[in-house]
Structure 1
């Protein structure tokens, strides 16, 4: 593995993420359909990476996203600031007073219990983030004048609309131009890609993004569906996963995209969590999480 970082004193940030941030509604131990009370906070897959690095390790973090300029957007901004993440790159969209033209995303989530799985009900149509497009963000300011050692984004944001897909590619190109490490979480969601071209569009976009990625993250379904790799025993409908076959697929991914310095994935088989990581031009190695730094699986929250 060989990742070359920009020096810390030459940039303003250690990590910048690009993605949608929604207001999350949590009914506690109840159900969304029956509760009369929610606890709210902010959340977004790409943003969570930046916030986690800020809160856990004290890294300088910033987020690139967009909000409708109303009280909900300002509440989200306040949550982000409380997490210590810089908000200077947020794009504010004028609110029309109704939400006919632009909104902020809401995400209603409930915990699983017993045989009942966890469930999420997003309400994210017409959000400011999904309307972001190439040219909205001054990437020369973000990665050139300000600068960051690491940039993270993923397939959920890319799948929100035709324009967010284009913006994701634009951002990754700009980051690489300025020597910033790029990580990308494939995170394939068929429901998001369905209305903008489905599986074919997902592969078109993700294979273009992959050209600029140093650290690629995804599970077995992500690599087969998002990048179009087909290896015996591995498909987008994975059952009875054969780990050796999956390792073969990772080797092929690195062969097709030699810019990949690290490929990281989590595999679950019979409720056992595992970790796999591939360093470029090295044999993939797998290790149960329980043996990796004394980590222990945690219940989903």
Structure 2
């Protein structure tokens, strides 16, 4: 796997591009009845950088934008606590009301038993949704500033507005030119894409972006909605598929985009909100690595896929090999879903223990 990893001399191990929102969590309650929220930071692309920093000890950064007000400064404070380099954060002047620019809010319920997790986003007109080509000096970032060993972005950022996909493509082109490996998480969000053209637009945008990608991540719904891949045996609610269908899906994607070195899919069967089967399957150089689904208990499922991505990327950057990287992603994702918030609270030692099948006996 070291064929796609660049030397360690670069400034950051991983640079992510995406929006960071303020997550408001009602804990065990409901959004519409609570009188108190816990506050976290989160965002699909950011969570990967955060996991690589806090769990795996790598140097990471986030390229993002925030409205310069108290909520923006709170998000910055949370980013700093997570250890992610915020030197590429763009501050946008706040108009005092939020008519022109604001910071994104994400109200999220964890769910329990038969009550599914649920989200209510409030993210229109955010600072990050308004970025355009030229707002980040990618040639300086990847060149003069000695860049990153890895670049990560995804479909959530690309769907924020008509301009954000162009920014993603601009960054990916420079990363490609500087031989920086690129990972991209499809992360389909119908609520975002429907305002800028729906699935048709999502497929048009993502088919172009994926041509600049080395490592592509998603699940069966992401591959279907974002790339138009037809998956045999799929049901309307994307229930559990035979493993052969997943393997065929990965091979079809790899054949359509020969630039891809790795195609990976998380596997999840949600029996209840608090009990899921969780695993992954990935393709590299024609070889399949499969971590079968295993029953796990869920405390907060948000960010599980992002933690899978950071564990996978860590395995590649650490030169551990393809199968190890997939197992690391699965273990890290499972552990991240045992704690509240979007981001991982796991340690590398806990991930390695989980990979070896370690149980939950108390450690003293």
Contact 1:267 1:274 in 2 (8 A): yes
SS at match of 2:216: strand
**Unpaired runs of 5+ in structure 1?**
none
- CA shift for structure 1 position 83: 1.0
Partner of 1:209: 209
Question: Which residue is 1:166 aligned to?
Answer: 166
Q: Is contact 2:14–2:59 with CA below 8 Å preserved after alignment?
A: yes
- Cα deviation for residue 221 of structure 1 reads 1.1
Pairwise CA distance, 1:71: 1.4
SS in 2 for 1:130: helix
Contact 2:250 2:282 (8 Å CA) reproduced:
no
- How many Å separate the matches in 2 of 1:131 and 1:235? 36
Report the alpha carbon displacement of residue 80 of structure 1 after superposing the two structures with TM. Answer: 0.7
Structure 1 residue corresponding to 2:281, chosen from 262, 269, 276 = 276
1:105-116 to structure 2, matched below 5 A, reads 105-116=104-115
Q: TM-score, normalised by structure 1?
A: 0.93
1:289 and 1:295 in contact (8 A); partners too: no
Matches of residues 1-301 of structure 1 in structure 2 within 5 Å? 1=1, 3-9=3-9, 11-146=10-145, 147-234=147-234, 238-269=238-269, 271-280=276-285, 282-288=286-292, 292=327, 295=331, 297=334, 299=337, 301=340
Q: Output the CA distance in 2 between the equivalents of 1:60 and 1:268.
A: 30
TM-superposed deviation, 1:131: 0.8
- Which of structures 1 and 2 has the larger relative contact order (alpha carbons within 8 angstroms, sep 6+)? 2
Contact (CA 8 Å) 2:20, 2:43: kept in 1 or not?
Answer: yes
Residues in 2 aligned to 1:295 and 1:68: alpha-carbon distance in whole angstroms: 36
Is the 2:154–2:186 contact (alpha carbons within 8 Å) kept by the matching residues of 1? yes
Distance in structure 1 (CA, Å) of the matches to 2:47 and 2:71: 19
2: CA distance, partners of 1:240 / 1:4: 32
Contact 1:221 1:236 in 2 (8 A): no
CA distance in 2, matches of 1:224, 1:247: 14
Q: CA deviation at 1:250?
A: 1.1
CA distance in 2, matches of 1:127, 1:235: 35
Instruction: Report the Cα offset of residue 240 of structure 1.
Output: 4.8
- Asked whether the equivalents of residues 2 and 261 of structure 1 are also in contact (C-alpha less than 8 Å), the reply is no
Following superposition, the deviation at residue 236 of structure 1 comes to 7.2
Shift of residue 292 of structure 1? 4.2
TM-score normalised by L of structure 2:
0.78
For 1:61 and 1:236, locate their aligned partners in 2 and report how far apart those are by CA, in whole Å: 38
Deviations 1:165-220 (A, max 9, x none): 11111111111111111000001112211111111110111111111100000111
Retained in 2: the 8 A contact 1:67–1:128? yes
Secondary structure at the counterpart of residue 57 of structure 1: coil
Q: 1:229-263: CA deviations, max 9, x gaps? A: 22432477534523212211211111111111111
The secondary structure found in structure 1 opposite 2:4 is coil
CA distance in 1, matches of 2:207, 2:278: 27
CA contact (8 A) 1:224 1:236 kept: no
Q: Distance in 1 between matches of 2:2 and 2:259?
A: 11
| Cα drift, residue 4 of structure 1 | 2.6
Distance in 2 separating the partners of 1:181 and 1:53: 15
Q: 1:237 & 1:111 partners in 2: Cα distance? A: 20
